[in-house]
Amino acid sequence: MATKRMFNRDFVNDDRFLDLSTEAKLLYFYIGLNADDDGFLANTTAICRLLGTSKDTIHELVKAGYVIDFGTGVYLIVHFKFHNTLKGDRYHETVYIDERSQVEYDDVNKAWELNGTKMEPQYSIDKESKDSVEYREDIEQNRESIVIDKQVSSSGTNLEPTRNQDGTNKRKRGRPRKNEKMDDLEIQNRQEPKDDKAIEDYLFDLPF
């Protein structure tokens, strides 16, 4: 097994990596130095004791997607081969055969991944993609509003004019509705009432 290891400078200077705690970043470098030629190792507890950090620090790297935990005490550095390229005569295959059978190497992402899984993007989507997502969300919201409007209309909110028994929309005799004005000609053509009952009906129909 090689005694020298490399780390990609752009990778460790990325904001996502720098957002890790100081203990997690330090542990990443140390497990990289102690991993075998495939990136596997099983002595993370001893390394944490050496560094004086909590043994739970490794879980921060697992959660961030930099390390795979097999639950057997064996861990795998996801981007180990991205950092290190070994010649065939210097390469020694890992002794953790069971764990090796559970992963495959993705040449596109330059990373190990569990069988049947796909690595999440390491960087956020670009602005154009974000705009597209927001545009689709606006369309969906407008579509929901249209559906709601149709449901309100079908429920009888927009009422049709009340029809009389003869089928017409003519309003029954009585005081005009609010903001409704009688035709001036209609008022002029009204005959003066001559008895008390007629006077009462006449005053009832006046627009005030």
pLDDT digits (tens, 9 = 90+) for 93-106: 999 999 999 999 99
Residue 122: is its pLDDT beyond 50?
no
pLDDT average, residue stretch 148-153: 54
What is the 8-class DSSP label of residue 84?
A: -
CA distance 94 to 39: 8
CA distance 192 to 74: 108
Burial class (CB in 10 A: 0-12, 13-18, 19+), 70: middle
Report the chain's terminal Cα–Cα distance, integer Å: 104
pLDDT average, residue stretch 27-35: 97
Q: Whose CA is closest to 31, among 39, 19, 20, 21? A: 39
Q: List the domains of the chain with CATH numbers.
A: 9-114 (1.10.10), 171-208 (no CATH)
Q: Is the pTM of this model over 0.75?
A: no
More confident site: 156 or 53: 53
pLDDT average, residue stretch 98-123: 81
The pLDDT tens digits for 170-182 are 555 555 554 445 5
Report residue 125's pLDDT band, with 50, 70 and 90 as the boundaries: very low
